[in-house]
Structure 1
């Protein structure tokens, strides 16, 4: 048996959720190690946005957030520029976190988080094949044949989580029948407005851009999102396909796509899983996409994953890991407020994707009339989303050691 020093908590998965959980637990004094199945922790994607709660979490767990991205003001618009919803973040929040919606590149976030990890915390090439909760501890069996004992296992191993399957059995992915093509450029594009993030919808396509900052350079990220049959092969020329979609949009989007190099473009089919009613069982719990894989329509998947680690560490601060009842109680206290919050975000993203991209053609003019002439979208995303941001900041408390 390969017992790790001090029998640390094991976090399975080296993505944002796993690194955030490990750094947060380390911050509150709990021993922890990350087991990553691949040879390196690598970003799955190129573009990213973060709201203030994950930025607060990153600061608290020792990640350098200085100049990490660019602030953006978010609006939902129709294809003629009419604003359907204006996401207003209170000024004191903008001042404290450098903006309400921060645009950045995902590899930059990985580099910052990796740089914050203490030496030896991340162990790569460690694939777990077996999980056994023995009551007093959890025994992990690695592909190498070694076994590892831990007082607590955190499954932060993504949408295909083996920890989730171990706890709750297999569950099918929910295919949204959408895909997103996104990219970024540091070219000068006069048509683009710095600091603005317009989410623009035609009858069938969403087109968006936002400001980013990366290693001292200012630029823009963009994406186009449309219905796509998962049985259909992806476009061979992603950039060319994106250019065709962007041509239907006013303003800067066509110029931003045209200024992008092919190597800075990626595609993601959009999938999630139906949210769970419980994350934890015994000495095992979930975090990040393993618990709440989320459509980019929430613009909050990575952010919620980072915040999971913060809240988990708050509940485990000072807990005797040898006390099974105390560990179980801490995990229950962690998941109880997180499940309704993340479930709401997952389901709202799913519904928005259907409303904007799967409405039957005869109903689309009616949908657009409602969105253009009623406060429906303003209430849903212009007011509700900022309200939830404020609630999350309040719930986080003064700092990671001082919960609300």
Structure 2
């Protein structure tokens, strides 16, 4: 008598996943969900996936995630090491990472232009995934599915909806109601140039603080060209108009700073200067409800003081797609469990970054005048800032690299069953 064959494991059919917003979070999620074997539709309200800013830094963890998602990361940016200094040049913080990590990912982090990241992500998207000039006006859900109501009157049905629609997220409002934007009362001016002042040193990101202003510069690479990005950041009430001449405003703020910052600003074409207010929202305690979740700035908008907003958004998209691999997305309970498994390890990491960035902005730019001398003495004479930033940041980066390794192992196992 021949043995009874073992039953073939049932394989869930591909699910339908809709993503709102084609920024780093949305495009990374689209790539990861597609690799997980599900049908994905990415809705972008503009005519193309386009960045809201011009300059960017990426740490090793999001670079690793991008590579695993099939994005071309070759020569994406310039390798850099991050250093904090006071106005006299005294080093307050150095952000070290293991040599192996630096070799594997092109530096402690890389400096690049934000449009270059968008171009690489968009180029990796499978044909037919990205739908532009599609504005989502309303989202609803029940235990069977979720529906997106578009401005043109059409309705798109999905098993999972991912809101990657930024700080003013419709998705977030839909599932959690209106929560206030938290203004930092800070204004940032940033630009880039491919001219190279003799005082600029490649391979560095130098952040310098005066009593009230942060001035910084970083090596970048863009389409095979070497250059530098820079920014200056100061206290500025959210309801006060920003000067119309952004280049002149940045030049004035940089006057007290040592070269190469003033020289880099002077060499920058005024058309390559942008300015934006620093804002965020308090971290959500829960990202997902039912079949809907939020990622990136929709979940945890973060001040540039963390230098990690686009990086965390990219990681969100990567991890979410991995959590959906091998799942039956038609089943409401399965979806809720998968979304919870995704967000549970992400929330402590993203909350820490956003809250630390908020606190650093307050400390460096909103301290009462009598306390600034005390603050600077503490930062210059104690290891406090080194412990908070110089040790805390590498620890978080290495933890995320390990989390990606764990996720890839589970993803490979899930995909082998399909």
TM-score, reference length from structure 1: 0.97
Q: Which runs of 5+ in 1 are unaligned?
A: 1-5
The question of 1:70 aligning with 2:98 is answered: no
Shift of 1:247: 1.4
Shift of 1:399: 6.3
Shift of 1:398: 5.8
What are the superposed Cα offsets for residues 275-333 of structure 1, whole Å, 9 maximum, x if unpaired?
Answer: 10000011000110000000000000000000001111111111111122111111000
The question of 1:390 aligning with 2:394 is answered: no
Alignment correspondent of 1:89: 97
Alignment correspondent of 2:315: 307
Among 146, 149, 153, the alignment partner of 1:138 is 146
Q: Which has the larger radius of gyration?
A: 2
- Aligned partners of 1:98 and 1:41: how far apart in 2? 26
**SS across alignment from 1:397:** helix
Q: CA RMSD in A?
A: 1.3
Q: Give yes or no for contact 2:325–2:411 (8 Å, CA) kept in 1.
A: no
Among 273, 284, 288, the alignment partner of 2:281 is 273
**SS across alignment from 2:392:** helix
The question of 1:287 aligning with 2:295 is answered: yes
Shift of 1:25: 0.9
The question of 1:190 aligning with 2:201 is answered: no
Shift of 1:8: 2.4
The question of 1:297 aligning with 2:305 is answered: yes
Shift of 1:132: 1.2
Alignment correspondent of 2:116: 108
Alignment correspondent of 2:132: 124
Q: Give yes or no for contact 2:32–2:321 (8 Å, CA) kept in 1.
A: yes
Alignment correspondent of 1:208: 216
**SS across alignment from 2:373:** helix
Q: Give yes or no for contact 1:12–1:18 (8 Å, CA) kept in 2.
A: yes
- 1:2-401 to 2 correspondences below 5 Å: 8-397=16-405, 400=408
Q: Which runs of 5+ in 2 are unaligned?
A: 1-13, 413-418
- Aligned partners of 1:402 and 1:304: how far apart in 2? 21
TM-score, reference length from structure 2: 0.94
Q: Give yes or no for contact 1:310–1:400 (8 Å, CA) kept in 2.
A: no
Alignment correspondent of 2:5: none
Query: Which range moves more in the overlay, 246-255 or 344-353?
Result: 246-255
Query: Which range moves more in the overlay, 230-239 or 65-74?
Result: 230-239
Q: Give yes or no for contact 2:319–2:407 (8 Å, CA) kept in 1.
A: no
Count, aligned residues = 400
